[in-house]
Amino acid sequence: MKKLIILLLICLVSINVEAGKIHMRIGDQNSIAPYQYDMPFLLDGTIIQIGGNYYFKDRTKNNRHFLITGYDFPTDWTYGLPYKSAATISAPANDFELWAYDVDSFLYDGNHTPRQIPVISLFQNIDYANRLFCKHESQVLDVNGVETYEPRVSQIVLYRTVKTSTQLTNCNSHFGVPVADASAKYVDAVNGDDGYAGTISSPYKTITKGNTEATTIVYVKTGNYNFSGAQKTFTKNITSIGYSRCYNYGSAYALTYGASGKTFKGFIIDGNNSSTGGITTGVYANTFDRCYIFNNTSIGIRTSTSNITISNCIIKGTTYCIYVASANTLTIIGNCIVGAMNTQGIRFVSNGTNLISNYNKFSGAFSNVYNSLTTIYNNTVSLLNNKGTFTCTNYYYSGYDKGISVSYDNISSNGAFFFHGSSSGITNEIVNILNCKISSSLNSGYVINVKEKHCNISNNIITITGTAYPLSVNSVTNNGLNWLVSNNIIDVNVNDGKSPAFGDPNFVYHNMGVLTFSKNLVRGPLFFDKTAASQSHGVCVWWNKDADISYNKIEGYEMPLVLKANAEDYANVKVYANIFIDGRVIVKGISNTKIINNTFYNSNFTTCNLSLNDELGNHSLGTVIKNNIFYNSTSTQSNILVNSTEETYTSNTNLFYSPNGYIADITGGTRNMNFTTWQGLGNDANSINQNPFLNSETNLWPNTVFLIGEDLGSPYNIGLDTTTTWGSTTTIPVIVTKNQPAIWQIGAYVQ
């Protein structure tokens, strides 16, 4: 019985190659292709390496592996040829048997040279010749609309005999072959004639002829189609069902569309480095699907109308990949967009465009991936789940666009996000950056800069390895802007001594909006390397009124939080339920700051926990310091530093711990004060001075619950729960909060 069970398991795992059968792997999306005995080759999507080159493995005994040229698949790719790839595949050279069985010179050109075949040419039944079939697998999305499985071609099979009758029915079913339109006209550049009837057996020779006939769709077989001379204008649905290369010499664009509601699909559009662009459209509601557009001197696709869809294309542009001269609604979805140096990916020069750009892959080198002129207004932009690794000056450069949403993007580049609006009181412009993974090695300017716009920057993982400022929001004038920065991981791992995680310490504009900076994990260079050069500013909140700084964990900076202003108008900043590690929080020239229920922990650097300073003669007045835990185990520093006798504050119901006994310093006053001396100045009458015995450097809550806090009402009555997890380099924080009990606890956590 045991032997029988083992034998059955072996049969489930694999199928022997004998009798022309193929191996199957458990968990494959593929099912067994029919009629394996009749196959010169079967590519099931398995990728192998031979001599440093990538190949699709032939699963038959014939070992006709197909070379992959320009391999650009994702690093975690498992099998199949992705739709979002500019790579090509080619059959083995000098294979006489394949020459004989080839379909309309699909695999080899007229000189028997293997063609470089892109994914867009892999129709399910090549040329409807019933011999060469390709199986496609669809995109899978999760409940958030995030792509969890990329579309791909998973099987390519050639048969020695043409399939008919039941065999053809079975092949069409297995490979998902679209049913041909019975009224369609056919075009064949090699075997056709414009004097023929345009049927599959008697095709026309030119696409122009098919376009003039009374039909809803034109099927174009494998061949080269000369678009040179006058620009070609089409008005029908036109679909390539093989390797259809449209080439052009000298005209402005290879083709244009002159009728609405039509689809142009499956073509290689080669500008031969002499035409300005690949496709231009001046009519409504056209779709360009699964086209490979390249070798143009300037533009891949130019649109000057509305309701255009560009999907599953491979677009290579010299100056612009996609140029939006005018459009109402433009949908760009599932494309592979490849830039050369100084290429602009998607360029807006029109007002009022509704852009939907989802599931695209960017690669190569760009000046700007998305670029909207500063004189352009009221474009609404949605970017969802785009990805890529590339170099660029800017990922997104916005003028006065409104309604910008960037979500679930996974971008690794040295480019910046610039969202700049008007300072003239326009307040309807909002930027949303949500659920993205952004890695940047940019070495100047900003990675993300929002100016004169509302924003919501939440649930992102931002990793910085360059010297640019990671994230800055600001406004020249106080025009009622609201900024939310929440639930992000911001990692800054560059040892330059100045890179803050948020804000710009050298800014020239006041960030006068209302900021909520909450539930973020911020880690600076000193987190990654304790021996790194001194890193000054972590989170910079300057010239801001009514800011809310709460539920954050900030470490790796000499000054994890800096609050700054030089006029009394900028006040009422609330700082509560935060954890500050190995650095001092600075309140500088800003009034009525509330420092409530935070945990300050310093064990590695010789600095105090909290410093009150003036800024250009404007003093920090009315600071409230209550319900905090101050822990400083360094040998020479105190918990609180007051930099002049003119700073005013109220401090009470705190816990202080410093093994040297130093609680506070007042510059110009008493230095190195112990707890008794500090209380003698009227401070902290209800505070305590003892070791809190924190659980660990990771879990910074005390082993003993201290019920000495003052009830300060909302929003301070909610602290961190001990089940909070702070995330990692790949997962965002999960912040859990908990209400204070009847008698309040101190520190950031409520136990």
Domain-wise residue ranges, the chain: 2-175
pLDDT tens digit string along 195-252?
A: 999 999 999 999 989 999 989 999 999 999 987 665 577 889 999 999 999 887 666 6
Percent of the chain with pLDDT over 70: 88
| CA 216-219-225 angle, 5° bins | 120
pLDDT tens digit string along 509-558?
A: 455 678 999 999 999 988 988 877 666 789 988 877 789 999 999 999 98
Range in 117-131, 202-216, 574-588, 598-612 the model is least confident about: 598-612
Closest CA to 593 of 571, 615, 569: 571
Section 621-632 average pLDDT: 95
- Whether the predicted pLDDT of 650 surpasses 90: yes
Q: How far apart are CA 634 and CA 230, in angstroms?
A: 79
Residue type, 77: W
Q: How far apart are CA 32 and CA 14, in angstroms?
A: 11
- Whether the predicted pLDDT of 61 surpasses 50: yes
Q: How far apart are CA 400 and CA 374, in angstroms?
A: 6
- Whether the predicted pLDDT of 597 surpasses 90: yes
Confidence of residue 674 (pLDDT cuts 50, 70, 90): very high
- Residue of 742 and 506 predicted with greater confidence: 742
Residue 601 and residue 576 in contact, taking contact as beta carbons nearer than 8 Å: no
Total-model pTM = 0.87
Q: How far apart are CA 80 and CA 95, in angstroms?
A: 23
- Whether the predicted pLDDT of 691 surpasses 60: yes
For 281-284, the CB contacts below 8 A with 24+ separation are: 281/256, 281/257, 281/305, 281/308, 282/256, 282/257, 282/258, 283/257, 283/258, 283/259, 284/260
Q: How far apart are CA 614 and CA 79, in angstroms?
A: 62
Residue with tokens 């612009």: 320
The string of DSSP codes covering 506-573 is T-SS-B-SEEEEES-EEE-HHHH-TTSPP--EEEEEES-SS-EEES-EEESSSEEEEEE-SSTTSB--
Residue 257 and residue 264 in contact, taking contact as beta carbons nearer than 8 Å: yes
Burial class (CB in 10 A: 0-12, 13-18, 19+), 259: middle
Q: How far apart are CA 344 and CA 330, in angstroms?
A: 17
Q: How far apart are CA 537 and CA 551, in angstroms?
A: 19
Task: Region of 20 please: left (phi>0), alpha (psi -120 to 50) or beta.
Answer: left
pLDDT tens digit string along 439-490?
A: 998 888 888 988 888 899 999 999 998 888 888 887 776 567 889 999 999 9
Closest CA to 600 of 583, 575, 623, 613: 583
The string of DSSP codes covering 730-743 is SS--B--EEE--SS
- Residue of 668 and 709 predicted with greater confidence: 709
Report for 160-169, 292-301, 373-382, 552-561: range of highest mean pLDDT: 160-169
Q: Which two tokens stand for residue 383?
A: 């970017």
Confidence of residue 117 (pLDDT cuts 50, 70, 90): very high
- Helix, strand, coil % in the chain, rounded to nearest 5: 10, 40, 50
Q: List 377's β-bridge partners, or say none.
A: 400
